[in-house]
Amino acid sequence: MVNKFIEMTYQETLDYLFEKLPMFQRTGPAAYKNTLQNTLELDERYGHPHHKFKTIHVAGTNGKGSVSHMLTSILQEAGYKTGLYTSPHLKDFRERIRINGQMISEETVVNWVDQFVKNNSPRKISPSFFELTVAMAFDYFAQQNVDIAIIEVGLGGRLDSTNIITPEVSVITNIGFDHTNLLGNTLEEIAREKAGIIKKGIPVVIGQKQKETQKVYEDKASVGSSPLFFADEELHINYSMIGIDGKQIMNVNSGNRILFPDLKLDLLGTYQRKNVPAVLKVIELLQSKQWVIKEKHIYEGLANCSLNTGLLGRWQILRNNPLVVCDTGHNEDGIRAIVEQIKNTAYKKLHMVFGTVGDKDPEAILKLLPQDAIYYFTKSSIPRAMDEKILAEKAKKAGLKGKTYPTVKSAFDAALANADSNDLVFIGGSTFIVAEIL
């Protein structure tokens, strides 16, 4: 049994991770665990690696990936060796674990998994995909002596495998309805799970103040004497525009005072205006803790975020004539932001290549989608994907019209064939739809 894994190739290693271990992204709630026991045992086995570097912990329904990458980029520009742990990946498993924008090597992944398999006895641990990946990331960051690592929560917060760290700052971007079967059916219940990352005495930044969740955070912060900050109360961005270099330009204000004039951001999408204040507040708190981060590092970090960190799938323009854009937003708030962005985009006709997962009822998001678009309903090649014909039937009830396609590629090809040069082709509905296009 052991010998089988001694000479694993990278693909064999991925097969082990994806197919032998329970994986939420592929199989859904069946892979979710309501205990940190495995994570704590793995942490002990590897000598508590998360104690060997500083961290920032980022949770939220939407925006946590963008916030994590922006923080990483700024810290890299400031000269810190910066780890980044995010999920899910879009093209390559190694996107989840990066240092200064560089993905963990295939060789390192193979050797680490090989050693785990060989040494996983007699005190055997049966981890999920996510639990083992978190252990790999923390061990790798410790071995590479990173100064700080930005750690994105996978799901929820309280019971997430990342929630063994004590960060410099905790961040919760916003709360919306997603994974309600696991996190709760009200915003208050979901916020309570996210608030689980708030640690005693550690400052916490809330990206957006929401009346339904405010008291949850205030109560949790009060219990642990954790300084609490609502970023959108301190900083706001009224508008943004696209410059001739293709980057967003915005002014960040505090009251009537412009704190950051002509701030450039290479992440497109007007919804980033909600994320930037949280990022800047975190940086301010780090500066108060004697982290050396200058204004030029902030400007350069935000202007070169995608370049520095490799972020994909956030209102990402794939081609022009016709304009082809993909975005990983997949819940109500995410789709609402995408629809708003579409309204602010010039086009003649709108073509939507759209798919979703089967363990969520898409009714709420379908109601948000534009009815004047031509739809190409499809499904990704994972077990969780909703059958495209079922999706089309549900969409029809919401007034959406289109045809069905068995693969993402066939749907995309059809959209390109039908689109004129002045049209917009949008690809999304699920992270996995975007992943297959990329």
pLDDT in tens, 93-148: 999 999 999 999 999 999 999 999 998 865 688 899 999 999 999 999 999 999 99
Digit-coded pLDDT (tens) for 348-399: 999 999 999 887 778 989 999 999 999 999 999 988 899 999 999 999 999 9
Q: Give the pLDDT band of residue 187 (cuts 50, 70, 90).
A: confident
Percent of the chain with pLDDT over 70: 93
* Residue 15, C-beta contacts closer than 8 angstroms, at least 6 positions apart: none
With CA atoms as reference, report the closest residue to 144 among 103, 99, 195.
Answer: 99
Per-residue model confidence (pLDDT) at position 7: 64
* Structure-token pair, residue 95: 């996107």
Q: How far is CA 15 from the centre of its chain?
A: 23
Is residue 412 over pLDDT 60?
A: yes
**What is the secondary structure of 254-271 as a DSSP string?**
ETTEEEEEEEEESS-STT
Q: Give the pLDDT band of residue 320 (cuts 50, 70, 90).
A: very high
d(CA 293, CA 290): 9
376 strand-pairing partners: 353, 403
Mean pLDDT (the chain) is 91
Residue 38 CB: number of other CB atoms within 10 A?
19
**SS3 of residue 333 by DSSP:** helix
d(CA 203, CA 234): 15
What's the rounded mean pLDDT across residues 299-315?
Answer: 95
**SS3 of residue 231 by DSSP:** helix
What's the rounded mean pLDDT across residues 231-251?
Answer: 94
d(CA 436, CA 328): 12
For 105, which DSSP code?
Answer: P
Q: How far is CA 49 from the centre of its chain?
A: 23
Digit-coded pLDDT (tens) for 190-220: 888 899 999 999 999 999 998 888 999 999 9
* Structure-token pair, residue 216: 């949850």
Residue type, 240: S
Stretch (H or E) spanning 139: helix 129-143
Residue type, 430: S
Per-residue model confidence (pLDDT) at position 3: 41
Could you identify the residue written with the tokens 């992204």? 25
d(CA 190, CA 198): 14
Q: Quick check: bond before 88 cis, omega within 30?
A: yes
Per-residue model confidence (pLDDT) at position 186: 85
d(CA 51, CA 138): 9
**What is the secondary structure of 179-224 as a DSSP string?**
SHHHH-SSHHHHHHHHGGG--TT--EEESS--TTTHHHHHHHHHHT
d(CA 341, CA 329): 12
Q: How far is CA 177 from CA 58, 234, 424, in A?
A: 18, 25, 28
* Residue 307, C-beta contacts closer than 8 angstroms, at least 6 positions apart: 266
Looking only at the bridges linking them, the beta strands covering 248-254 and 240-242 are: antiparallel
Per-residue model confidence (pLDDT) at position 62: 85
CB 136 within 8 A of CB 109: yes
d(CA 386, CA 361): 10
Q: How far is CA 265 from CA 199, 299, 421, in A?
A: 31, 8, 27
- Side-chain half-sphere of 201: how many Cα atoms within 13 Å? 1
Is residue 19 over pLDDT 80?
A: yes
With CA atoms as reference, report the closest residue to 277 among 249, 237, 334.
Answer: 237
